[in-house]
Structure 1
Amino acid sequence: MKYRTVFDIIGPIMIGPSSSHTAGAARIGRVARNIFGRKPDKAEITFYGSFAQTYKGHGTEIAIVGGILDLDTFDEGIIRSLELAKEAGIDIQIITSTEDVEHPNTAKVRLKDSIGELEIVGISIGGGTIEIVSMNGFNLRLSGHHPALLVLHEDRFGMIAGVSNIMTKYELNIGHMEVARKSKGSEALMAIETDQMIPDELIEEISKIPYILTVTRLQA
């Protein structure tokens, strides 16, 4: 990923010592919470690479839990995130792994409740900038800096065209798009970043397309 501005290198306004290990981790946690769409009952966080080795010194676990609580990088509540999570009834489990990963600052977040669960893998690439590289087993590249649509659907002919036509109707410009599937004819995922905010009406129309399973909106 290319840096968009000098602030992607300097880092965001934040609580904590490291834009990569603290601000980036908070953003990974917050993207997971926004995709999940509600307070989880349980959060299982696995750190890999440098995250696994240094997370205690940088407060990476505090930051990522703060994100799961929907706190921004500059919110002073992040300092008390573990305590706040306990008060909210969220069971937090921190795991470290020695598994080889593509990027040293990698975290997997699994959120669960009685309704369902979500698993994302995110990487912190510097200056507080992140990428979500996997969601529920689908490979993708999602920055978390732009509004996005996550459309889960059956892998059938014409699905991309159907979604694109509705986005054209609402004059939404596609800035980046990823399409992934687990196997031919099974479930597939569209991850679409847009230049504009995504209205409720668009979500409703896309949800009515045949063979659409779920539509999730991620507002930056």
Structure 2
Amino acid sequence: MKYKSVFDIIGPVMIGPSSSHTAGAARIGRAARNLFGREPKWADIHLYGSFAKTYKGHGTDVAIVGGILDYDTYDTRISSALETAKQKGIRVKFHEEEAHTDHPNTAKVRIGDDDGDLELVGISIGGGMAEIVELNGFELRLSGNHPAVLLIHNDRYGAIASVTSILAKHEINIGHMEVSRKEEGKRALMVIEVDQNLDDTILKELEQGDHILQVAKIVD
């Protein structure tokens, strides 16, 4: 594994006790919050492997809920995230799963409200880092280390070109990009990691692209 800086080895500034079980878990919860775009009314959190066995002692539960509340890894409010969620009227339920997963630190986060819901699967890969590997049934590989834009679009010609041409016009450099689909000719997911955050004017322009159905961003 290659590291981009010494901070990737040391890990992020964070609330303890474990980079994998707290900081990585907080990143998973916050990614779900960013993609959902608002504070949810409920959260169902399914924990697998090591997460399921040690989540209370290692603070995985408060970390994921802290992320859902939009707290960063170093935010001291993480320690009281469960109480804060209860005060806000957010129903939180944890599920200890026995099913085998490819990675021992895996969480499936489902959040929603009266207007919709979102399901995300993330893995904590160590050093406080996390990857998002599934979103609403679409497979993807999103590191969470860079700003990213996710676009749901019709699986037709021209959708990818319309997006990349807009980013090029605004001199936005693409660091990583992938497209996944469940079925040919149906809906597809485009994931693009970029070198800088996209402002709302660019996002609105992307939404006007051919075959684009929904646009969401993750801020670094």
- TM-score class, shorter-chain normalisation, is over 0.9
Please give the alpha-carbon distance, in whole angstroms, between the structure 2 residues aligned to 1:55 and 1:145.
23
- What number of residue pairs does the alignment pair up? 220
**Unmatched 5+ residue regions in structure 1?**
none
Mapping of 1:105-144 within 5 angstroms?
105-144=105-144
Report deviation, 1:3.
Answer: 2.9
Which residue pairs with 1:189 in the alignment?
189
- Tell me which amino acid in the other structure corresponds to 2:14: M
SS in 2 for 1:24: helix
Mapping of 1:71-90 within 5 angstroms?
71-90=71-90
Which residue pairs with 2:208 in the alignment?
208
Which residue pairs with 1:8 in the alignment?
8
Question: When the two structures are superposed, what TM-score results if normalisation uses the length of structure 1?
Answer: 0.97
Once the two structures are superposed, residues 64-86 of structure 1 have per-residue CA deviations (whole angstroms, 9 ceiling, x without a partner) of 10110011111111110000001
Please give the alpha-carbon distance, in whole angstroms, between the structure 2 residues aligned to 1:51 and 1:137.
21
Would the aligned equivalents of 2:62 and 2:78 in 1 still touch at CA under 8 Å?
yes
Question: Are 1:52 and 2:52 an aligned pair?
Answer: yes
Would the aligned equivalents of 2:48 and 2:98 in 1 still touch at CA under 8 Å?
yes
Would the aligned equivalents of 1:8 and 1:126 in 2 still touch at CA under 8 Å?
no
Which residue pairs with 2:150 in the alignment?
150
SS in 2 for 1:65: helix
Greater alpha carbon shift after TM alignment, 152-161 vs 7-16: 7-16
Once the two structures are superposed, residues 155-180 of structure 1 have per-residue CA deviations (whole angstroms, 9 ceiling, x without a partner) of 00111111100110110000001100
Which residue pairs with 2:70 in the alignment?
70
**Unmatched 5+ residue regions in structure 2?**
none
Which residue pairs with 1:27 in the alignment?
27
Pairwise CA RMSD? 1.0
Would the aligned equivalents of 1:107 and 1:121 in 2 still touch at CA under 8 Å?
yes
Would the aligned equivalents of 1:140 and 1:180 in 2 still touch at CA under 8 Å?
yes
Once the two structures are superposed, residues 22-70 of structure 1 have per-residue CA deviations (whole angstroms, 9 ceiling, x without a partner) of 1100111011101111000001100001101111110110111011001
Please give the alpha-carbon distance, in whole angstroms, between the structure 1 residues aligned to 2:89 and 2:8.
34
Distance 1:2 1:187, change over 3 A: farther
Which residue pairs with 2:99 in the alignment?
99
Report deviation, 1:210.
Answer: 2.9
Would the aligned equivalents of 1:120 and 1:134 in 2 still touch at CA under 8 Å?
yes
Once the two structures are superposed, residues 114-166 of structure 1 have per-residue CA deviations (whole angstroms, 9 ceiling, x without a partner) of 11101100000000011000000000011111111100011001111111001
- Tell me which amino acid in the other structure corresponds to 1:71: Y
Would the aligned equivalents of 1:9 and 1:126 in 2 still touch at CA under 8 Å?
no
Which residue pairs with 1:160 in the alignment?
160
Report deviation, 1:9.
Answer: 2.3
Would the aligned equivalents of 1:178 and 1:190 in 2 still touch at CA under 8 Å?
yes
Please give the alpha-carbon distance, in whole angstroms, between the structure 2 residues aligned to 1:110 and 1:3.
31
- Tell me which amino acid in the other structure corresponds to 1:18: S
Would the aligned equivalents of 2:158 and 2:210 in 1 still touch at CA under 8 Å?
no
- Tell me which amino acid in the other structure corresponds to 1:41: K
Report deviation, 1:202.
Answer: 1.3
- Tell me which amino acid in the other structure corresponds to 1:159: A
Report deviation, 1:203.
Answer: 1.0
Please give the alpha-carbon distance, in whole angstroms, between the structure 1 residues aligned to 2:144 and 2:19.
15
SS in 2 for 1:17: coil
